[in-house]
Chain A
Amino acid sequence: MIRLALIGLGKMGISHLAIVNSHPDVRLVAVCDTNAYVSSTLNKYTGIKVFTDYRQVLAAGNLDAVIIATPPRFHGEMVRAALDQHLHVFCEKPFCLNADEGAELAALAKDRGLVNQVGYHCRFVGAFKEAKRLVTAGTLGRVHHVRAESYGPVVLRPKGASWRAQRTEGGGCLYDYASHAIDLVTYLVGTPDRVSGTVLNRIFSQDVEDEVYTTLYFPDGMTGQLSSNWSDESYRKLSTKMTIWGTNGRLTVDRQEVQLFLRDNVVGNPALKLGWNVLYTTELTDEVWYYLRGEEYSAQIDHFIRCIETKQTETISSFASAVETDQIVSMIVEDSGVARNSATKRGPHQERAVPRKKGIFRRVRALLA
């Protein structure tokens, strides 16, 4: 039995709790949340042991692994504390707000031979796994362009008090939504080394961007576009979609289906045919022992547990791969400043999420006002 604790009882934390609590190979030792109301209510009705300080949980000394599902600002400190206790760590996404710190923690986990995973659950969706298999098998030929999109209804009004509305806490569309699409880019086609033309716009939020657009450049000449908007309620929930163009065709994938158009050759699967192929989630999804909201949430936790049991430290969504995503996020933030300064023309209604320095003219006008 893997003895496990969970830190952070927000939306993802509660969901992970239900999943690990029903996993046949896991013994849930304790949970922790700074909100004593939430944790003590949980204790009252389920008998699960609760703490309000994560250090107490880690210090108990009877753990094999920990799941960290706090707001991102706390990830770095908590992951380090857990690794120092020689615990295997599953951390929610985004991994670290500081990519250098993330890289350090990835190296630390590797040195100590600890299983490390970040909650990019799209990697466990049957359709995305199949897309990965097809791209790796060369089905599309030489891939030359990728479009990564994520849309959904998170911020639909000019208010909101949770951490997701604050940049310093790891909120914003870039960290919360676009990160899924960026992670799928690194998973499916590789890691860009440059971004350009970034737009981080506010629509309703005060402190963070609500939409993200950028162009991705890869070392081998491939290009990509990222497009993400969390203020779009025409989507019922987070919807992440990837489109990949190669010399032998095009592949579009979301969590429901893979649509594949093949031009000249059939590679990677003899059942495919030239022209259109559609593969549905019903045929691509592996059964899980317990279902809540989607197979992928259970599958990623099961993968983490199996890796601990089999002493396999290379997970499908490792700290190292999450650091690549964090690094791309950093490049996008940096480029949003560059793009702002080099833009020659801008519409009158656009607002920037990154505050602009006042020009001389504006400053003089402000003084006169």
Chain B
Amino acid sequence: MTQTNSAMERILLGDNQFFGVNHMSEEKARAQSIRFQDDRSIIEVLDIAYDAGIRVFMCTTHERVAAICDHVRGNPERYKDFQFFPCMPYAHKYADAVTEHGMIGALKRFLPEQGALNALFKGGMSVATKDMEGIAQLLIDAEMKMFAGLSTPVIFLQNVVTDLLLGLGFGTAFRMFADHVIQRYGAEPGFITMNMPHLLDVLEEVGISNPIICANINKIGFRMCGGVKRYEETIATRNFRPVAMSVLASGAIPPREAIAYVCGQRAIRSIVFGASSRANIVETKRLIDEMSYGG
């Protein structure tokens, strides 16, 4: 399979900070949850980033993102160049449902119950025949509903699901995801992982060439399975489009040093970071620009 090789934006704004995800401190995570409990406060940060030239919001399909989508849809002029890179699924939603309803009960809950008859039929048939491709397509469509009418040039599979499928040896699922994202949404598939070198091998095996892979890439090797050296070699020598996340390793590395490390690896296409204040957003953008293009 050959995929389009469109130019990806250099800097992407992530969403962990909005939804109380912080790998360093529960207290900090809670403070962020409180700060961002109004959608308005998230939009204010997105506006700061957008005005600073960061046009991509890489976000989970958290239910609160739906309100952000509504806002962007409602102001097409203001957000003319705004792009979403959805990351699906919001895994806690599914994990909690499995805890509460068991495996099959959870699956039933997320397949469409009403609406288009064919979805109902397709869902029922897919479950009956154990047709994972059919089920996966319905789940992807359900997650994508909130982005209707918006620009979503890259659609990511979240790391919990990517890495679970990788571990199970269910590589064909990546192909199912990629095919549906390309055919139904005209988008490029992306894969988030904590196991980048291994994932790249498997994606190539199932015929996904030059894939977009988002992984932790940081100087101290935090959550980089295979180790820093293997990551550096893979990035330098193999054909894929790396997106670096957790560049600061949740704050363990000072910003200038952290960004210098990532920008020093020329094959890295994009950098995703989460920030909440104008000062941090503008400074991080400035550092990446300076080290990517010489300021």
Contact = CB atoms under 8 A, between A and B. Distances in A.
A18 B163 contact: yes
Interface residues on A, range: 35 or more
B270 interface: no
B198 interface: yes
A288 B226 CA distance: 8
B160 A293 contact: yes
B21 interface: yes
Contact of B100 (A17, A45, A162, A236): A162
A172 B276 CA distance: 38
B236 interface: no
A153 interface: yes
A362 B96 CA distance: 39
A41 B133 CA distance: 12
A187 to B, nearest CB: 20
A365 B196 CA distance: 68
Contacts of A295: 223
A37 B108 CA distance: 13
User: Nearest 9 pairs between A and B by C-beta?
Assistant: A18-B167, A291-B194, A282-B252, A41-B130, A162-B102, A22-B167, A46-B169, A292-B163, A291-B225
Contacts of A275: none
B44 interface: no
B78 interface: no
Of the candidates B26, B92, B103, B221, the one having the most CB atoms from chain A within 10 angstroms of its own CB is B103
Interface residues of B, number: 46
A280 B164 contact: no
Contacts of B164: 14-15, 18, 292
A21 interface: yes
Nearest to A164: B99
Contacts of A292: 160, 163-164, 167, 194
A181 B152 CA distance: 43
29 contacts: A14-B164, A17-B167, A17-B168, A22-B166, A35-B104, A38-B104, A40-B130, A41-B130, A44-B130, A45-B132, A45-B173, A46-B168, A48-B168, A48-B169, A154-B99, A160-B101, A161-B102, A162-B99, A164-B99, A236-B20, A280-B250, A280-B252, A282-B252, A287-B221, A290-B198, A290-B225, A291-B223, A292-B167, A295-B223
Given A22-B167, A280-B252, A256 B225 contact: no
A276 interface: no
B162 to A, nearest CB: 10
Interface string A117-141: 0000000000000000000000000
A153 B223 contact: no
B132 to A, nearest CB: 6
B170 interface: yes
Interface string B88-112: 0000100110111111110000000
A327 B33 CA distance: 38
Contacts of B105: 161-162
B99 A45 contact: no
Interface in B4-50: 19-26, 29
Contacts of A46: 168-170
Interface in A149-164: 153-155, 160-164
B76 interface: no
A283 B160 CA distance: 23
B220 A282 contact: yes
B34 to A, nearest CB: 10
Of the candidates A9, A11, A42, A155, the one having the most CB atoms from chain B within 10 angstroms of its own CB is A11
